[in-house]
Structure formats: structure tokens, C-alpha cells
Amino acid sequence: MKKTSNFQSYFLILLMLYGSAFAQGTKKRPPIIDVHVHAMKANPNFANDLCPWFLKNMPGGDPKQPAPSFLNGDCPDPLKAAKSDKEMQDALLGTAERLNVIMVASGDAEILHKWHKAAPNRIIPSLGVSSGKEMTVKAFEDSLSGGFYKVMGEVAPQYQGMSPSDMTLDEYFGVAEKLGVPVGIHMGTGGNGMANITSPKYRASLGRPFLLEDMLARHPKLKIWVMHAGYPMIDEMIALMGANAYVYVDLAGFIWSYPLEEVHAYMKRLIQAGFGKRIMYGTDLMVWPKLLETSIGVIESANYLSEDQKRDIFFNNAVRFFNLDESKFK
Ligand SMILES: [Zn+2]
């Protein structure tokens, strides 16, 4: 424990020195790419404050009682949820500017267009389709060819009780493969008690990374990243990445919800297995602008990562994966 707290204070001092240099405008912060951001309309039913790493204990409850809460805001200093679209946009883009963050964002098209208009250099728009009922293949291809969207995601068939290799999605992946558009697919953890709350069709077993294999075999030129790094199925994740050289992962969601020790154990295992060049930083940011800082801190404070490995996770791996022009961000 002692070692950790020494490290933490060392890190804080470092951060303060860094902060003052950047605040004085002497140096621009090195760029960070967050590959997993959700653009959402403000919704009073989803405007709860958030305590990071809140899944420390997951009480059993009882089916006769109300369903467990998806989030927990019961801590001394929770992250505040934005209460309006404008508040969210201003806070998010302000923070992104200050911390030099570029975001791959998907979700509500109107919000996404507003963010992109306000900060075209900070937003990389992404188009998600999780079932054939949402949009026709033709409409999807037209949208992806239109120039606004650069990425396909978040594709999340798991919430609908479907495997990512389900044939009803196959033509959509075919379009992304043909156009050379990278795809982000939700695999693994999807929120505590999800099957009891909003997604009765959600199946933990449909987050198994191996379920991607048939689809990848049908689309050998498709470039995908596994969102949430298939948490907690680390062995399948490592085996899948070993067998498929173009599969990357992001760290979104689990890095701020599960206990920190567990988060670090998972990331460390990916690194130990040799995949430091295939991990991308991501948050799964929804309505809490401060989550950017909270999640960056997790990587910054990982004492098992070298500075080069941190830069790979924050930036270099995403530049390579998305074929970005890195000179634009310097
Ligand atoms: Zn997800």
C-alpha cells in the first residue's frame, strides 16, 4: 500500500507541474484519442451523477424488489451529469480542447452534427447499426459513403440477444469492409444487471470474443476493434487477437466502473500477453464531461506501463488503426 501512495503523490506532483506548463500556454498537451464516446440528447431519466469504480459490491437484491440501479451516485464527490444539450456540448468540447482530446463519437445524429460543427477537428463521427431493423443496407451504405461518417460503431447486437456473427448483420459488415471503414463492436460487459433493467434479451454469453470469428472469416479485409476489450473474458480476447492480426480493443466502460484493482489486472494481462500496440483508449462517455479526466488518470497512474506504452494506448495505436494523419493533431 505504501508504495502505491508514494506513487500517487509523485504522480500528482508531476500532473501539477505538467498542468501549470500547459496552463501558461508554454506547451500543448500531447494528443489523446478517445475512441468510444456517445452523443446523447439530455434526458431527465438518465441524468444521474456518477461515482467512478462504483461496482465494488454488487448486492444480490430480490426479483420482487425494484431492479438494481445501473449507476451509483452515492459518494462524496460524484461526477455531475450535464443537465442540457448545451451544457454537455460546452463542457465536453471545452475539456477536449484543454486536454487535447479527439473523440470517435456515435449516437444521436443531431447532437453529433452539432458537436462536429462546433469542433470539426475534435470529433470523428461514427455510425452504429445493431440490427437490420434500424436501417436498410442501402441506407447504411449511402450514409457511410456520404463523407460525414468515418467509422461504423457502436455495433451492439449483444443487447438484442444476437451474436455479432448473426447473418442479419453480415451485409452491413460487408459494406464497411468494401469501403474500408473500421468497425467497433460491443463485446463483454454491458452494465450491472442489464438483463433485469432495460435489456431483457441481453446475454452475457453473447459477449464472448470467440463469437466474432465466423464473421471475421467471412470478411478477411474488415478492420474491427472489440469495445470494452471483451471484459471479463480475457483468455478468449487474447486468443482472438492472436489468431486475427487486425483486431484491436478499447478500454471503455470497465475502466471507470469496476474496482480499480480489477481494471488494472485486466489491462496488465493484455499488456503481458504482448498486445500493447493493439489497445486503444476509450471512455464510453455518456453524460458526465468530467469522465474524460477520470479515465485519463487511470492510464496515467498505471505504474506497469512505460511512457511509450501510455502514448501508444492514448494515441499511436488509434492513429494506426483508423489511418489518421497524425500531423493534424500536433
Ligand atoms: Zn458498449
The whole-number average pLDDT for the span 75-103 is: 95
Q: Are 104 and 315 in contact (CB under 8 A)?
A: no
- How is the beta sheet containing 32-39 ordered, strand by strand? 32-39, 101-107, 123-127, 151-155, 183-186, 224-227, 248-250, 279-280
Q: How far is the CA of 284 from the centre of ligand 1 (A)?
A: 7
Q: How far is the CA of 26 from the centre of ligand 1 (A)?
A: 37
pLDDT of 13 strictly over 70: no
Q: How far is the CA of 28 from the centre of ligand 1 (A)?
A: 31
pLDDT digits (tens, 9 = 90+) for 168-221: 999 999 999 999 999 999 999 888 888 888 889 999 999 999 999 999 999 999
Q: What per-residue confidence (pLDDT) applies to 125?
A: 98
Q: How far is the CA of 21 from the centre of ligand 1 (A)?
A: 36
CA distance linking residue 272 with residue 266, whole number of Å: 10
What are the backbone angles phi and psi of residue 277, rounded to the nearest 5°?
A: -90, 0
Question: Comparing 17-21, 126-130, 298-302, which segment has the lowest mean pLDDT?
Answer: 17-21
This prediction has a pTM of: 0.91
* β-strand pairing of 183-186 with 224-227: parallel
163 torsion bin: left (phi>0), alpha (psi -120 to 50), beta (else): beta
pLDDT of 12 strictly over 80: no
Q: How far is the CA of 117 from the centre of ligand 1 (A)?
A: 25
CATH number 3.20.20.140 given to 31-56+66-329: yes
pLDDT digits (tens, 9 = 90+) for 50-72: 888 888 877 777 888 887 777 88
User: 128: closest CA among 83, 169, 68?
Assistant: 169
pLDDT of 144 strictly over 90: yes
Confidence of residue 25 (pLDDT cuts 50, 70, 90): low
Q: How far is the CA of 11 from the centre of ligand 1 (A)?
A: 30
Q: How far is the CA of 239 from the centre of ligand 1 (A)?
A: 21
Q: How far is the CA of 8 from the centre of ligand 1 (A)?
A: 30
User: 126: closest CA among 35, 218, 226?
Assistant: 35
Kindly state the cell numbers that stand for 240. 482472438
